[in-house]
Protein backbone atom coordinates (compact mmCIF):
# COMPACT_ATOMS: atom_id res chain seq x y z
CA UNK A 1 0.00 0.00 0.00
CA UNK A 2 2.82 2.41 0.85
CA UNK A 3 4.64 1.67 -2.41
CA UNK A 4 1.40 2.08 -4.34
CA UNK A 5 0.55 5.44 -2.77
CA UNK A 6 4.09 6.81 -3.10
CA UNK A 7 4.91 5.75 -6.67
CA UNK A 8 1.91 4.11 -8.33
CA UNK A 9 2.62 5.93 -11.56
CA UNK A 10 6.37 5.26 -11.44
CA UNK A 11 6.48 1.55 -10.47
CA UNK A 12 9.92 1.89 -8.88
CA UNK A 13 9.57 -1.31 -6.90
CA UNK A 14 9.53 -3.27 -10.19
CA UNK A 15 13.30 -2.70 -10.47
CA UNK A 16 13.90 -5.71 -8.20
CA UNK A 17 11.58 -8.00 -10.12
CA UNK A 18 12.46 -10.67 -12.66
CA UNK A 19 13.79 -9.33 -15.96
CA UNK A 20 12.77 -11.40 -18.99
CA UNK A 21 14.07 -10.58 -22.47
CA UNK A 22 12.97 -12.64 -25.51
CA UNK A 23 11.43 -15.27 -23.19
CA UNK A 24 14.70 -15.73 -21.29
CA UNK A 25 15.17 -14.59 -17.70
CA UNK A 26 18.18 -12.34 -17.20
CA UNK A 27 20.34 -13.40 -14.21
CA UNK A 28 20.41 -9.92 -12.67
CA UNK A 29 17.55 -7.59 -11.86
CA UNK A 30 17.44 -4.05 -13.24
CA UNK A 31 18.63 -2.61 -9.93
CA UNK A 32 21.55 -5.06 -9.81
CA UNK A 33 22.60 -4.04 -13.32
CA UNK A 34 22.35 -0.35 -12.44
CA UNK A 35 24.37 -0.85 -9.21
CA UNK A 36 27.14 -2.91 -10.83
CA UNK A 37 29.48 0.07 -11.55
CA UNK A 38 29.30 1.07 -7.87
CA UNK A 39 30.20 -2.41 -6.63
CA UNK A 40 33.05 -2.60 -9.15
CA UNK A 41 34.57 0.80 -8.35
CA UNK A 42 32.92 2.83 -5.54
CA UNK A 43 35.61 5.60 -5.69
CA UNK A 44 34.31 8.71 -3.90
CA UNK A 45 30.68 7.69 -3.35
CA UNK A 46 29.32 8.57 0.10
CA UNK A 47 25.64 7.67 -0.45
CA UNK A 48 24.44 5.48 -3.32
CA UNK A 49 21.37 3.28 -3.83
CA UNK A 50 20.55 3.47 -0.15
CA UNK A 51 18.67 6.74 0.24
CA UNK A 52 16.58 9.33 -1.56
CA UNK A 53 19.60 10.90 -3.26
CA UNK A 54 23.25 10.13 -3.88
CA UNK A 55 26.26 11.98 -2.49
CA UNK A 56 29.94 12.19 -3.31
CA UNK A 57 32.89 13.28 -1.20
CA UNK A 58 32.77 16.97 -0.44
CA UNK A 59 35.01 19.50 1.28
CA UNK A 60 35.73 21.16 4.57
CA UNK A 61 33.90 24.48 4.75
CA UNK A 62 33.12 27.21 7.24
CA UNK A 63 29.50 27.99 8.02
CA UNK A 64 27.45 29.51 10.84
CA UNK A 65 25.34 27.44 13.25
CA UNK A 66 23.40 28.12 16.45
CA UNK A 67 25.65 28.11 19.48
CA UNK A 68 23.10 25.95 21.30
CA UNK A 69 20.86 24.16 18.75
CA UNK A 70 17.26 23.81 19.86
CA UNK A 71 17.31 27.00 21.93
CA UNK A 72 17.37 30.71 21.24
CA UNK A 73 21.08 31.39 20.80
CA UNK A 74 23.48 33.40 18.60
CA UNK A 75 25.07 31.98 15.48
CA UNK A 76 28.76 31.14 15.64
CA UNK A 77 31.25 30.10 12.93
CA UNK A 78 31.96 26.39 12.68
CA UNK A 79 34.11 24.19 10.44
CA UNK A 80 32.17 21.29 8.83
CA UNK A 81 32.52 18.78 6.04
CA UNK A 82 29.70 19.19 3.52
CA UNK A 83 29.24 16.45 0.92
CA UNK A 84 27.75 17.11 -2.52
CA UNK A 85 24.27 15.69 -3.12
CA UNK A 86 22.87 14.77 -6.53
CA UNK A 87 19.48 13.44 -7.55
CA UNK A 88 17.42 13.29 -10.72
CA UNK A 89 14.23 11.76 -12.01
CA UNK A 90 11.74 11.96 -14.85
CA UNK A 91 8.04 12.73 -14.63
CA UNK A 92 7.05 11.88 -18.18
CA UNK A 93 3.48 10.63 -18.37
CA UNK A 94 2.15 12.93 -15.60
CA UNK A 95 3.66 15.93 -17.42
CA UNK A 96 2.07 14.76 -20.66
CA UNK A 97 -1.39 14.42 -19.10
CA UNK A 98 -1.27 17.63 -17.04
CA UNK A 99 1.92 19.54 -18.02
CA UNK A 100 2.01 22.21 -15.30
CA UNK A 101 1.00 20.03 -12.33
CA UNK A 102 2.96 17.04 -13.62
CA UNK A 103 6.15 19.07 -13.82
CA UNK A 104 5.60 20.71 -10.43
CA UNK A 105 5.15 17.36 -8.72
CA UNK A 106 8.18 16.00 -10.58
CA UNK A 107 10.37 18.87 -9.45
CA UNK A 108 8.77 18.87 -5.99
CA UNK A 109 9.36 15.16 -5.56
CA UNK A 110 12.99 15.56 -6.51
CA UNK A 111 13.40 18.49 -4.09
CA UNK A 112 11.75 16.33 -1.41
CA UNK A 113 14.31 13.60 -2.14
CA UNK A 114 17.17 16.03 -1.51
CA UNK A 115 15.64 17.21 1.76
CA UNK A 116 15.02 13.60 2.84
CA UNK A 117 18.58 12.39 2.21
CA UNK A 118 20.21 11.12 5.37
CA UNK A 119 18.88 13.11 8.30
CA UNK A 120 18.36 16.16 6.13
CA UNK A 121 20.13 17.87 3.23
CA UNK A 122 19.77 21.29 1.62
CA UNK A 123 18.91 22.16 -1.98
CA UNK A 124 21.18 24.46 -3.99
CA UNK A 125 20.11 24.56 -7.65
CA UNK A 126 18.08 22.62 -10.19
CA UNK A 127 18.06 21.61 -13.85
CA UNK A 128 15.21 20.59 -16.14
CA UNK A 129 14.90 19.05 -19.57
CA UNK A 130 12.06 18.41 -22.00
CA UNK A 131 11.65 16.20 -25.07
CA UNK A 132 8.46 16.38 -27.15
CA UNK A 133 7.14 15.49 -30.56
CA UNK A 134 6.55 18.06 -33.35
CA UNK A 135 5.58 21.44 -31.88
CA UNK A 136 3.21 22.71 -34.61
CA UNK A 137 3.72 26.33 -33.57
CA UNK A 138 0.88 28.49 -34.97
CA UNK A 139 1.95 30.63 -37.95
CA UNK A 140 5.49 29.21 -37.75
CA UNK A 141 6.22 26.17 -39.91
CA UNK A 142 9.27 24.16 -38.84
CA UNK A 143 10.74 22.32 -41.86
CA UNK A 144 10.43 18.55 -41.61
CA UNK A 145 7.62 18.43 -39.04
CA UNK A 146 4.93 15.91 -40.06
CA UNK A 147 1.43 17.36 -40.14
CA UNK A 148 -1.98 15.82 -39.52
CA UNK A 149 -0.88 12.81 -37.44
CA UNK A 150 -3.04 11.63 -34.54
CA UNK A 151 -1.87 11.92 -30.92
CA UNK A 152 -3.03 10.03 -27.82
CA UNK A 153 -6.24 11.66 -26.62
CA UNK A 154 -5.10 11.83 -22.99
CA UNK A 155 -1.91 13.80 -23.73
CA UNK A 156 -1.66 17.58 -24.11
CA UNK A 157 -0.25 18.96 -27.39
CA UNK A 158 3.58 19.05 -27.51
CA UNK A 159 3.76 22.86 -27.56
CA UNK A 160 1.55 23.11 -24.47
CA UNK A 161 3.67 20.46 -22.74
CA UNK A 162 6.86 22.38 -23.48
CA UNK A 163 5.51 25.72 -22.24
CA UNK A 164 3.46 24.61 -19.24
CA UNK A 165 5.90 21.94 -17.99
CA UNK A 166 8.65 24.55 -18.03
CA UNK A 167 6.42 26.93 -16.10
CA UNK A 168 5.58 24.22 -13.57
CA UNK A 169 9.17 23.19 -12.93
CA UNK A 170 10.26 26.80 -12.42
CA UNK A 171 7.24 27.60 -10.24
CA UNK A 172 7.84 24.80 -7.75
CA UNK A 173 11.56 25.45 -7.53
CA UNK A 174 11.00 29.15 -6.93
CA UNK A 175 8.62 28.42 -4.05
CA UNK A 176 11.31 26.37 -2.34
CA UNK A 177 14.13 28.83 -3.05
CA UNK A 178 15.85 26.57 -5.58
CA UNK A 179 16.83 28.43 -8.77
CA UNK A 180 16.61 26.59 -12.07
CA UNK A 181 20.02 27.27 -13.60
CA UNK A 182 20.32 24.95 -16.60
CA UNK A 183 18.49 22.48 -18.81
CA UNK A 184 17.78 21.28 -22.32
CA UNK A 185 14.99 21.05 -24.90
CA UNK A 186 14.69 18.49 -27.70
CA UNK A 187 11.85 18.07 -30.20
CA UNK A 188 11.67 15.26 -32.73
CA UNK A 189 9.05 13.51 -34.83
CA UNK A 190 9.59 11.88 -38.21
CA UNK A 191 8.04 9.39 -40.62
CA UNK A 192 10.69 6.97 -41.88
CA UNK A 193 10.75 5.81 -45.54
CA UNK A 194 9.13 2.50 -44.50
CA UNK A 195 6.23 4.40 -42.93
CA UNK A 196 7.36 3.89 -39.33
CA UNK A 197 6.68 6.84 -37.01
CA UNK A 198 9.41 7.90 -34.61
CA UNK A 199 9.34 10.69 -32.04
CA UNK A 200 8.77 11.66 -28.43
CA UNK A 201 5.00 11.16 -28.64
CA UNK A 202 5.03 10.48 -24.91
CA UNK A 203 7.11 13.41 -23.64
CA UNK A 204 10.14 13.35 -21.39
CA UNK A 205 10.26 15.70 -18.41
CA UNK A 206 13.64 15.49 -16.68
CA UNK A 207 14.36 17.16 -13.35
CA UNK A 208 17.70 17.12 -11.57
CA UNK A 209 19.32 18.99 -8.74
CA UNK A 210 22.39 19.48 -6.62
CA UNK A 211 22.47 19.99 -2.86
CA UNK A 212 24.72 19.68 0.16
CA UNK A 213 24.66 17.59 3.32
CA UNK A 214 26.58 17.79 6.59
CA UNK A 215 28.80 14.76 7.12
CA UNK A 216 27.12 14.26 10.52
CA UNK A 217 23.73 13.80 8.80
CA UNK A 218 24.49 11.23 6.10
CA UNK A 219 23.00 8.27 8.01
CA UNK A 220 19.37 7.91 9.08
CA UNK A 221 18.40 6.56 12.48
CA UNK A 222 17.47 2.89 12.56
CA UNK A 223 13.71 2.16 12.69
CA UNK A 224 12.34 0.84 15.97
CA UNK A 225 9.26 -1.16 16.91
CA UNK A 226 6.35 1.10 17.73
CA UNK A 227 7.28 3.93 15.34
CA UNK A 228 4.31 5.42 13.51
CA UNK A 229 4.21 6.04 9.75
CA UNK A 230 2.61 9.34 8.78
CA UNK A 231 1.76 10.10 5.15
CA UNK A 232 1.34 13.79 4.37
CA UNK A 233 0.26 15.26 1.04
CA UNK A 234 -2.20 17.40 -0.84
CA UNK A 235 -4.31 16.76 -3.95
CA UNK A 236 -2.62 14.59 -6.59
CA UNK A 237 -4.18 16.32 -9.63
CA UNK A 238 -4.22 14.40 -12.92
CA UNK A 239 -0.69 12.98 -12.78
CA UNK A 240 -1.48 9.37 -13.66
CA UNK A 241 -2.25 7.97 -10.21
CA UNK A 242 -4.91 5.23 -10.42
CA UNK A 243 -7.91 6.38 -8.36
CA UNK A 244 -9.28 2.83 -8.20
CA UNK A 245 -6.03 1.59 -6.70
CA UNK A 246 -5.90 4.37 -4.12
CA UNK A 247 -9.46 3.59 -3.04
CA UNK A 248 -8.62 -0.10 -2.76
Q: Do 132 and 213 sit in the same domain of this protein?
A: yes
CB of 191 within 8 A of CB of 153? no
224-245: per-residue pLDDT in tens? 999 988 767 666 555 544 444 4
Per-residue pLDDT of the chain (248 residues; tens, 9 = 90+): 555 555 545 556 677 888 888 999 988 888 888 889 888 988 899 999 888 899 999 999 999 999 998 899 999 999 999 999 999 999 999 999 999 999 999 999 999 999 999 999 999 999 999 999 999 999 998 888 998 899 999 999 999 999 999 999 999 999 989 999 999 999 999 999 999 999 999 999 999 999 999 999 999 988 899 998 876 766 655 554 444 444 43
Q: Considering only CA atoms, which of 166, 170, 151, 165 is closest in space to residue 99?
A: 165
Angle between helices 158-175 and 99-115 (to 10 degrees): 40
* Alpha-carbon distances of 132 from 104, 183, 190, rounded to whole Å: 18, 14, 12
230 within some domain: no
248 within some domain: no
Q: Do 209 and 92 sit in the same domain of this protein?
A: yes
236 within some domain: no
192 within some domain: yes
Q: Do 15 and 116 sit in the same domain of this protein?
A: no
215 within some domain: yes
CATH of the domain at 181: 3.30.1330.10
Q: Which domain holds residue 83?
A: 42-221
- Does pTM top 0.85 for this prediction? no
Q: How many CA atoms lie within 13 A of 167 on its CB side?
A: 10
Q: Do 88 and 49 sit in the same domain of this protein?
A: yes
189 within some domain: yes
196 within some domain: yes
Q: Do 62 and 52 sit in the same domain of this protein?
A: yes
Q: Do 127 and 177 sit in the same domain of this protein?
A: yes
User: Number of structural domains, the chain?
Assistant: 2
Q: Do 93 and 28 sit in the same domain of this protein?
A: no
Q: Do 24 and 135 sit in the same domain of this protein?
A: no
CB of 59 within 8 A of CB of 49? no
Contacts (Cβ under 8 Å, ≥6 apart) of 142:
134, 135
- Which runs of consecutive H residues, i.e. helices, occur in 78-155? 92-97, 99-115
Q: Do 75 and 12 sit in the same domain of this protein?
A: no
Q: Do 68 and 9 sit in the same domain of this protein?
A: no
CB atoms within 10 A of CB 12: 12
End-to-end, the C-alpha distance of the chain in Å comes to 9
176-201: per-residue pLDDT in tens? 899 999 999 999 999 999 999 999 99
CB atoms within 10 A of CB 219: 12
Cα(176)–Cα(180) distance, rounded to whole angstroms? 11
Q: Do 90 and 202 sit in the same domain of this protein?
A: yes
Q: Do 162 and 47 sit in the same domain of this protein?
A: yes
228 within some domain: no
Question: What is the predicted pLDDT for the residue at 2?
Answer: 56
Amino acid sequence: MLGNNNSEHARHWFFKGKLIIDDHEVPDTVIQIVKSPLSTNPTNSIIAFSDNSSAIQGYKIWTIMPKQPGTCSPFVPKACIYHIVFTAETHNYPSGVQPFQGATTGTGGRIRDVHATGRGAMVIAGAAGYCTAALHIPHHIIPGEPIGLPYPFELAPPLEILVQASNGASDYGNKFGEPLIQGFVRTFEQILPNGERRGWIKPIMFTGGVGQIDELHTKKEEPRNGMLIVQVGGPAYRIGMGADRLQA
